[in-house]
Structure 1
């Protein structure tokens, strides 16, 4: 008898056969082999195999489906085209969010209490009895689905082409609050702005700048890049971040210690926290506007990307002439302190 050496490609074929024949044992063996052959798969195998796995995703039973989604996400991280994988993965994520909402609602209606801690043992009989098997399984696999979703959303084309993004974001925001932060990564990924204009006004020098941002996961990243463009570019006074810190916020792996150059505030004087996202910046006349004030105290952080697989971009498009700058300042309130009191 001649034994075929298992490869990533041949294992995908075995998995397709087993799943579509409803042969649980064969599918299980192929799935185990898939995880073993993935590490040795070459770029061509990864690129060709990822969309086949994505197409198979809805036919895989609920249990292993989330792990298959993680493998698809890993394929994308290794170079597979996310466009061929994202629709199937994100469609499943939408369904899982609906199950998580049902889980949370049922948990509250049956007595509430601390949400169960996910472990390798799987949901207990008590949890299943309270919320139902599918909702419990969704809760237990939430982290895997979030990982897979973020792998897709790292790509700007996926983010901009996602037709039901608003619906996913609404569900994620609601559940982020209900689960006390368990969906932070997915929520922040769905909040990412792309090709978004940003007006920055430097209060001390009464100067203004039009910038454009894409792929910024949080305001630590935005703050660092603003200082890199404006202080590092000689536009405004202050301490510029190092070139290494700026690069880490764009596309270089790792984190570099830096110190804040500004206090970021909205037009009405509300502080913009670095822990938030650029979507927190309130639009003025349909354009997001940030005011750059002197930092009230020294703040340092590790500059880098909230999403290591997502390329960040902030570019200075033009320096605003004085007349245009003053027209923007007309919509700006005086600076406020930490407590919201006018300084």
Structure 2
């Protein structure tokens, strides 16, 4: 017991050593402290992880650009093991915003100084030529952006972090990330999808074949595959509509159970203007009409299957059926609906 307690305390000792080295601008000491963080992380208990993550989050803005992204990943790992995401998220998301901005500058400077293919951070580390072409901060941001993505998704797995993120800042992050994607050709899908997740979001569903309507509310759904399965559970499984009703395990893995299981489609999801809503997208693709997302259900044009589950395994999702709409309400919402169109039309 004494050994286990001491093993746990060593993680906080490593945090202290790292803090001291960063504050004293002791690069060798910071490297030793960082290695100790990795060495003792697995032995740390929940209390030590929570305390250490909070301290590292406070320290993060002063950590040099090189190791800053890796420290962010350590904080994210602590959150995945129980540290408070609300305490840690502000520093992580501030760091993400800075990294995305600087990575965008890296892409611009790289194009302006030769225009050759951007280096792949997963294949090699930065070299002196990259620093000279794009600047130190910008180069380190490009190389560490995947780390900031990992750390930020760990924060955004939590509804309290997502709902506490200002809508304007969320939009700025998405715009900046998409600009980097366009300039670089690299895909930051996980980060983009995490920032697009909706919480406590009203959803009106009109089933075209039966002429019935439903008011629902969705939270924490990473992609439209997940929404599709939960819709089928609430509407066909609930006896409101005919069609395929997912089995309990198919539904469970779309809420909070681990793993994936095979499922198949129950509907074709359609926007009010008649365009298809693809399962591969996110629920944010569903247009807002009069303050609510408005979705139309048509019969599936062909049988389609996929692995039911969650795009973000660490994110709990849910879809609540609040009520069946009256005929008058359904008619009012249906006035916004146009006939379905074939894809591309």
Match of 2:19 in 1: 16
TM-score, scaled relative to structure 2 = 0.94
- The alpha-carbon distance between structure 1 residues 290 and 179, as it changes in their structure 2 partners (threshold 3 A), is farther
Deviates more, 1:170-179 or 1:225-234: 170-179
**Match 1:165 to one of 170, 195, 209:** 170
Verify: 1:188 aligned to 2:193, yes or no: yes
1:11-55 deviation per Cα after TM superposition (whole angstroms, max 9, x unaligned): 111111111122222221111010010011011111111100101
SS at match of 1:75: helix
Verify: 1:130 aligned to 2:133, yes or no: yes
Contact preservation (8 Å) 2:9, 2:44: no
Verify: 1:140 aligned to 2:143, yes or no: yes
Verify: 1:153 aligned to 2:177, yes or no: no
Query: 1:176, 1:229 → 2: CA distance?
Result: 36
Match of 1:79 in 2: 82
Verify: 1:104 aligned to 2:128, yes or no: no
Verify: 1:58 aligned to 2:83, yes or no: no
Cα distance, 1:154 vs. partner?
A: 0.8
Match of 1:236 in 2: 241
Contact preservation (8 Å) 2:106, 2:138: yes
Cα distance, 1:112 vs. partner?
A: 2.5
Query: 2:55, 2:199 → 1: CA distance?
Result: 29
- The alpha-carbon distance between structure 1 residues 58 and 100, as it changes in their structure 2 partners (threshold 3 A), is same
- The alpha-carbon distance between structure 1 residues 5 and 245, as it changes in their structure 2 partners (threshold 3 A), is closer
Match of 2:252 in 1: 247
Cα distance, 1:307 vs. partner?
A: 0.9
Match of 1:90 in 2: 93
- The alpha-carbon distance between structure 1 residues 98 and 217, as it changes in their structure 2 partners (threshold 3 A), is same
TM-score, scaled relative to structure 1 = 0.94
Verify: 1:42 aligned to 2:42, yes or no: no
Deviates more, 1:34-43 or 1:100-109: 100-109
Contact preservation (8 Å) 1:176, 1:184: no
Contact preservation (8 Å) 1:169, 1:187: yes
Query: 1:106, 1:8 → 2: CA distance?
Result: 40
Query: 1:240, 1:180 → 2: CA distance?
Result: 39
Verify: 1:263 aligned to 2:264, yes or no: no
Contact preservation (8 Å) 1:175, 1:183: no
- The alpha-carbon distance between structure 1 residues 228 and 27, as it changes in their structure 2 partners (threshold 3 A), is same
1:153-202 deviation per Cα after TM superposition (whole angstroms, max 9, x unaligned): 11111111123222212212332333335211111111111110000111
SS at match of 1:301: strand
Query: 1:337, 1:227 → 2: CA distance?
Result: 22
CA RMSD between the two structures: 1.7
Query: 2:79, 2:190 → 1: CA distance?
Result: 17
Query: 2:221, 2:8 → 1: CA distance?
Result: 44
Cα distance, 1:5 vs. partner?
A: 9.6
Contact preservation (8 Å) 1:176, 1:187: no
- Structure 2 residues without counterparts, runs of 5 or longer: 1-5
> How many residues are treated as equivalent by the alignment?
338
Query: 1:51, 1:297 → 2: CA distance?
Result: 51
Where does structure 1 differ by over 4 angstroms across 4 or more consecutive aligned residues? 3-6
Query: 1:237, 1:129 → 2: CA distance?
Result: 64
Cα distance, 1:136 vs. partner?
A: 1.6
Query: 2:82, 2:123 → 1: CA distance?
Result: 30
- The alpha-carbon distance between structure 1 residues 232 and 177, as it changes in their structure 2 partners (threshold 3 A), is farther
SS at match of 2:227: helix
